[in-house]
């Protein structure tokens, strides 16, 4: 077998499970990874990248990562038996995890698993998990909550437009989604519930002029001088969604859609321009692609 074939065998295209999970199979898998890494030092991360079993499994089976390495006969030169549980290693892992998964809270268990130790040993050594987080300046509050409801709904509309249909849970995890799936799970408990909240939100009655007025009077001192003309220029998310749905997520002029051509960008456009007194109402709005929108400018169409 050629070297390139061997490299292929060790790549991610290989089956990701072992045929047997006996002690000997697990140890053999460790030795296989060592061979694949061709002298590169073994860390948990490196190991988990190439192995078909997680280092946590080995730790549970053999008591510790060190024991597993010893039993597999892997030399210190390849896998140094340093104590993984140092303040530096915990903090480094905390930082890298937070950078890698900005929407997910950093749990003690996750970091412990990365270090190949159990969560209890971290708190025994460093005290309360929260204190450690504070020290590093990482919030324990799920960062998914940093998104406003509006931002989460915005992302749903963006994906709905992109796919031309209700987005799936899996699609939250990949571009063009800008809010990860965990943010929805953390906030609403699940994707269906999040969609339910979204639909309820967009089906709300639009704000009446009276409501807009009273909101303004609370926030603006000079409201009495401000004449109440038309509706606000910016199109609300729910109105935008309604127009996009009505137009079936396609440009009403050329008929193109992001679902069929990912290069197409849709905009909700005022038929009678807002600058010329056009209203922010469904009847005065339509879906246009970027190109058709450009061709229009601010001229009033018949
Ligand atoms: Zn178009």
Cα 82 to middle of ligand 1, angstroms:
62
pTM of the model: 0.46
111 and 154 fall within a common domain = no
Cα 250 to middle of ligand 1, angstroms:
8
Q: Is residue 32, in this structure, part of any structural domain at all? A: yes
Cα 235 to middle of ligand 1, angstroms:
20
Q: How far apart are CA 61 and CA 248, in angstroms?
A: 55
Q: Burial, 172: exposed, middle or buried (Cβ in 10 Å; 0-12, 13-18, 19+)?
A: buried
Q: Is residue 215, in this structure, part of any structural domain at all? A: no
Final residue before a domain boundary, out of 13, 39, 72: 72
Buried-state track 99-122, b at ≥16 Cβ within 10 A, e below 16: eeeebbbbebebbbbbbbbbeeeb
132 and 151 fall within a common domain = no
Q: Is residue 193, in this structure, part of any structural domain at all? A: yes
Q: How far apart are CA 208 and CA 264, in angstroms?
A: 34
- The number of folded domains in the chain is 4
Half-sphere exposure of 81 (CA within 13 A, CB side): 12
Cα 293 to middle of ligand 1, angstroms:
7
Q: Is residue 22, in this structure, part of any structural domain at all? A: yes
User: In the prediction, which pLDDT does 15 show?
Assistant: 56
Tell how far CA 294 is from the center of its chain.
32
Cα 276 to middle of ligand 1, angstroms:
23
Final residue before a domain boundary, out of 141, 166, 185: 141
Q: Is residue 210, in this structure, part of any structural domain at all? A: no
Q: 174 is in which domain, residue-wise?
A: 146-202
Q: What six digits make up the tokens of 11?
A: 């790549």
* DSSP class per residue in 266-291: EEEEESS-GGGT---SGGGEEEEEHH
Q: Is residue 222, in this structure, part of any structural domain at all? A: no
Mean pLDDT by groups of 10 residues along the chain of 302 residues: 43 63 90 86 79 84 85 83 75 80 75 77 82 74 64 93 93 88 88 93 66 45 41 80 95 94 90 88 94 70 46
Final residue before a domain boundary, out of 158, 187, 202: 202
């Amino acid at each position: 077998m050629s070297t390139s074939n061997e490299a292929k065998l060790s790549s991610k295209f290989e089956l990701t499970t072992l045929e047997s999970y006996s002690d000997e199979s697990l140890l053999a898998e460790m030795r296989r990874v060592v061979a694949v890494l061709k002298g590169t030092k073994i860390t948990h991360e490196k190991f988990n990248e190439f192995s078909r079993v997680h280092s946590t499994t080995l730790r549970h089976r053999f008591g510790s990562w060190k024991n597993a390495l010893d039993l597999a006969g892997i030399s210190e030169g390849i896998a140094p038996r340093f104590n993984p549980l140092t303040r530096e290693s915990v903090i480094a892992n905390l930082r890298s995890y937070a950078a890698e998964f900005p929407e997910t809270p950093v749990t003690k268990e996750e970091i412990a698993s990365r270090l190949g130790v159990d969560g209890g040993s971290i708190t025994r050594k460093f005290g309360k998990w929260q204190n450690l987080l504070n020290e590093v300046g990482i919030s324990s509050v799920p960062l998914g909550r940093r998104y406003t409801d509006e931002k989460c709904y915005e992302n749903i509309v963006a994906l709905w437009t992109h796919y031309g249909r209700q987005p799936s849970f899996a699609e939250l995890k990949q571009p063009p989604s800008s809010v990860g799936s965990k943010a929805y799970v953390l906030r609403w408990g699940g994707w269906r519930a999040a969609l339910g909240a979204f639909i309820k939100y967009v089906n709300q009655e639009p704000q009446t002029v009276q409501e807009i007025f009273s909101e303004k009077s609370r926030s603006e001192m000079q409201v009495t001088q401000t004449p109440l003309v038309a509706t606000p220029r910016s199109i609300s998310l729910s109105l935008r969604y309604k127009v996009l749905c009505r137009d079936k997520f396609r440009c009403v002029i050329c008929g193109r859609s992001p679902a069929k051509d990912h290069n197409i960008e849709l905009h909700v456009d005022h038929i009678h321009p807002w600058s010329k007194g056009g209203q922010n109402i469904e009847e005065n709005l339509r879906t246009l692609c970027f190109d058709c929108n450009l061709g229009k400018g601010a001229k009033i169409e018949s």
